[in-house]
A and B are shown apart, each in its own frame.
Chain A
Amino acid sequence: MPETSYAVLGVFETPDALMKAIPQVRASKLGTVEAYTPYALHGIEEALGLRRSPLGGMVLVMGILGAITAFGFQYWISAIDYPIITGGKSAGSWEAFIPIMFEVTVLFATFTAGLGMLFLLNKLPFFGHPVLSSKAIKGITRDRYVLALEAESEAFDSAAAARALQAAGAIEVEALPAPDRSPFLTSDWVLRTLGGIFTACVVAGLAMYFATKWFPVLAPMKYIQEQPRLNAQKASSFFKDGHGMQQPVPGTVARGYLPTATGTQEEAASLVNPLPRTPEVFALGKKVYKNRCEVCHGAVANGVGSLTAAYGAKPANLQAQQFLDYPDGKIYWAIVNGKNAMPSHAPYLSERERWAVVDYVRALQRAQNAKDEDLKVAR
């Protein structure tokens, strides 16, 4: 018998003999007791005193983590980072997240179960368990039931272990020498595994690159060109007129472009500016005014802009008494419908932008006709 042993194996002929021997051998307290049998035996877990596997707890924690991850990620995408309304649902509707949360929960849980069992609990990679090189292994896979007393330290007394097993009824006893090298993870193995993964990635990447480059017309590469969809500015047999692009349905209104002020300017006089007079609204009005109005109406709305000299028509002087007396609605009407030589600005100004310009024009008018009280307000 060699100086250091990995374990001493005791061979039993029947499962009952094995089960009977387990408490005796455990009572000897010589080392860790482990059983090797051709098939699962009822009650052996309790007899060996095996602790409940921590895998279930790990799976539960990772499953919950998966659910939280999926919820957080979707919520962040659809409500915080890029809020977008789809299907008329408010951004961050939890109902839509549930299927993905379910999938990710299952994904995290199954990966934890599979990988946790293989690598954490069964300690893969594991090169050949010492018991596999024992003489008893043939019996273990056939009709013998083996109890192993595994060494816990250098002080393991294999002779005493053999006696304990024989006393418990083992018909044969075998001492297993400690393996030459560690059966567990080695740096050599890690290098080779990582190298293998790297090589596989490179090969797969190159294969994919050349496959798509040389055979782009083969399925599945051409699926992306064969989508059953309508393309803008392309022919399509779907519609009668043969165009892929169609006019909007009559009466279609883009969001924020409500067709208000469709009547006469007098009728529009009763419209009320819906915007609050806040610094944001004035800033928006100023920006739009400078982009769209200033070239003709001038920086202070007096009808003298940089284009006035070159342009045939004379833009309105918005500081004139006539316009000072205008209600908001009539200015708004002019922006939407245009007046005299002025074209309609409705196509590219949203509802909010038009009203903001009205507010800004009001501000310009008041600035040019400032009274003493206004100074006090400014202070």
Chain B
Amino acid sequence: MSPNKNTSNLPVSWLWGAVAVGALGVLGSYLAAGPERFWANWVFWFVLLFTLGLGSLFIVALEHLVNAKWSVPIRRIPERLATLLIPAVPVGLIALAAIPVLYPGARPEAAHHPLLAGKAFWLSLPFFSVRTVVALALCLLGLWVLVGGSLKQDATRDPAFNFKARKFAPAFMAIFALVVTLVAFDWISGLTPEWYSDIFGVYVFAGAFLSGLAATALAVLHLQDQGRLEGVRGDHLYNLGGFLFAFTVFWSYIGFAQYMLMWYANLPDEVIWYKVRLQGSWHLITLVLAGLHFVLPFFALVTRDSKKDPRRLRRVAYLMLGAHVLDIYWLIFPVLGASPRFSWPELSFALFFLGGILLWVRGAMQKGEDMPVGDPFLREGLEFRL
């Protein structure tokens, strides 16, 4: 987990231990800290898991869509990370139980709320659940076609998959836009149903794509440390770094555009969302988020050499993942009140889910080939020069 090779492999037993200890804390937090806090944590980790998996799947689909050759040697990495969408399904289905607890729009009182009465059907528990199930099913469909097909190609070496993926990728882009918007609106901005922002889905997309890129870069560097992914060079890293750089700017652009318009218009039902986040300790977290998610990675990646420097890229990738976690925390946790909550329930959830994610990713990274060996463009991808 650090540039040092020796410490980079956490023993599996440690990870299982973390999951076990975390599970105890998770159960305890439900009893001791109350259902609201428990479900806020659960939704937080569902969104993180989901954005990480979907962001990775987006990278895969994007590379197929534009018929990219440079990314073929590293494509297996986002493909493996995208399988996180599989554990995201049970986590998401369990999260449905959070709806009556956390989401005001799904409570019976919403029918009498002047602002929510008109959206009552959309926000109601049954339709909310149906949307979530459909979104998860569409993700699995994308995973099955793009990742499953790619894994099968390792054995068949059939170039027909490339054409199939290239045809499916544009359709998946539409699915992706729908799914990411649904999940962003339902699971995140649904926490404050009076508040709405058209651009919010794009904001969550930017974060999801960044988290997928950062995880991909980290996994690539990690596998290279182990002597795998032979042939992946600075030129490939440069493209990953360039994507990271571009999308930190994109994220900030969307985030600030959303804020500035609401700040200017100063409509009560819009600014209330920011008012909570610009008062007390949340104000500090907002500033730290801007620093970690934009200022720091921007200047860390602005020069040409920094994008292909493995040490720099690794640090920025860790930073981006951390910033994404903070971003989701900033989006979800104000629902619990004016002061940010962080103590043993959050740590238990982090142990449980981080341990689980690392175990899953570790397992995925050890299965099958490290590169899509059946892809006819692999050689061209390996010869890629800037």
Residues of A within 8 A of B (CB): 42-43, 52, 56, 60, 87-89, 95-96, 98-99
B302 adjacent to A60 (CB under 8 Å): yes
Interface check B117, CB cutoff 8 A: no
Shortest beta-carbon distance, A218 to chain B, in Å?
36
Q: Which of B260, B264, B266, B304: most chain A CB closer than 10 A?
A: B264
A88 adjacent to B259 (CB under 8 Å): no
Shortest beta-carbon distance, B254 to chain A, in Å?
13
CA distance A52 to B303 in the complex (A): 11
Interface check B112, CB cutoff 8 A: no
A42 adjacent to B266 (CB under 8 Å): no
Closest 7 CB pairs of A and B: A42-B385, A95-B263, A95-B260, A98-B256, A60-B302, A56-B304, A56-B303
**Please, what's the 1-or-0 string for B301-337, where 1 marks a CB less than 8 Å from any CB in chain A?**
0111100000000000000000000000000000000
CA distance A236 to B302 in the complex (A): 56
B260 adjacent to A99 (CB under 8 Å): yes
Which residues from chain A contact B263 at a C-beta distance below 8 Å? 95
A95's partner among B259, B304, B305 (CB-CB below 8 A) is: B259
Q: A56-B303, A56-B304, A60-B302 are in contact. Are A88 and B266 (CB under 8 A)?
A: yes
Per DSSP, chain B at the interface is helix
Identify which of residues 147-188 in chain B touch chain A, using a CB-to-CB cut-off of 8 Å: none
Residues of B within 8 A of A (CB): 256, 259-260, 263-264, 266, 302-305, 385-386
Which residues from chain A contact B305 at a C-beta distance below 8 Å? 52
Shortest beta-carbon distance, A106 to chain B, in Å?
12
Shortest beta-carbon distance, B337 to chain A, in Å?
26
B266 adjacent to A98 (CB under 8 Å): no
Q: In chain A, what residue has the closest Cβ to B260?
A: A95
Write 21 A-B pairs (CB below 8 A) sorted by A numbering: A42-B385, A42-B386, A43-B385, A52-B304, A52-B305, A56-B303, A56-B304, A60-B302, A87-B264, A87-B266, A88-B266, A89-B264, A95-B259, A95-B260, A95-B263, A95-B264, A96-B260, A96-B264, A98-B256, A98-B260, A99-B260
Shortest beta-carbon distance, A248 to chain B, in Å?
22
Shortest beta-carbon distance, A42 to chain B, in Å?
4
Which residues from chain A contact B303 at a C-beta distance below 8 Å? 56
Q: In chain B, what residue has the closest Cβ to A99?
A: B260
CA distance A123 to B302 in the complex (A): 26
Shortest beta-carbon distance, A88 to chain B, in Å?
7
Shortest beta-carbon distance, A168 to chain B, in Å?
24
Which residues from chain B contact A88 at a C-beta distance below 8 Å? 266
Shortest beta-carbon distance, B82 to chain A, in Å?
32
Which residues from chain B contact A52 at a C-beta distance below 8 Å? 304-305
CA distance A98 to B263 in the complex (A): 13
Which residues from chain A contact B256 at a C-beta distance below 8 Å? 98
CA distance A98 to B386 in the complex (A): 34
Which residues from chain B contact A87 at a C-beta distance below 8 Å? 264, 266
Q: In chain B, what residue has the closest Cβ to A41?
A: B385
Shortest beta-carbon distance, A77 to chain B, in Å?
18
CA distance A47 to B266 in the complex (A): 59
Q: In chain A, what residue has the closest Cβ to B303?
A: A56
Q: In chain A, what residue has the closest Cβ to B385?
A: A42
Which residues from chain A contact B386 at a C-beta distance below 8 Å? 42
Shortest beta-carbon distance, B298 to chain A, in Å?
11
Which residues from chain A contact B260 at a C-beta distance below 8 Å? 95-96, 98-99
CA distance A88 to B264 in the complex (A): 9
